[in-house]
C-alpha cells in the first residue's frame, strides 16, 4: 500500500508541481525508496542543481543494490 503522502506527491508531479512534491519525495528517498530517489534526482536536474541530483541518484543506486542483495539472500 502506498502511503497517503506519496499518493499526494504523485498527483502533484502529474500536475507538474514538482517543487511542491519534493519534500515528500525527499523523505521517502531518505528512507530508501528507489523510485522517490529517482524522482528527486529528476526534479533537481530540471532545476540544474547537479550536486543534489547526483546525491539522490547515488541514493537510488545504493537503495537498489541493498534491496537486490537482500533479495539474493532469500
Say how far apart CA 31 and CA 14 lie, in whole Å.
Answer: 22
pLDDT digits (tens, 9 = 90+) for 19-67: 888 898 888 888 888 888 888 888 898 889 999 988 888 888 877 666 6
Say how far apart CA 8 and CA 6 lie, in whole Å.
Answer: 5
pLDDT of residue 1: 45
Q: Give the mean pLDDT of 6-26.
A: 86
DSSP string, 27-38: HHHHTT-HHHHH
Between 74 and 2, the higher pLDDT residue: 2
| pLDDT surpassing 60 at residue 73 | no
Q: How many helices (H) and strands (E) are present in the chain, helices listed first?
A: 4, 0
What single DSSP character describes residue 73? H
pLDDT of residue 7: 81
> Domains (ranges, CATH) in the chain?
4-73 (1.25.40)
Say how far apart CA 58 and CA 70 lie, in whole Å.
Answer: 18
Amino acid at each position: 500500500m502506498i502511503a497517503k503522502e506519496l499518493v499526494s506527491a504523485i498527483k502533484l508531479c502529474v500536475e507538474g508541481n514538482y517543487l511542491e512534491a519534493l519534500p515528500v519525495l525527499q523523505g521517502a528517498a531518505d528512507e530508501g525508496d528507489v523510485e522517490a530517489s529517482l524522482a528527486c534526482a529528476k526534479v533537481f536536474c530540471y532545476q540544474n542543481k547537479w550536486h543534489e541530483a547526483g546525491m539522490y541518484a547515488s541514493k537510488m543506486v545504493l537503495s537498489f543494490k541493498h534491496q537486490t542483495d537482500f533479495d539474493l539472500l532469500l
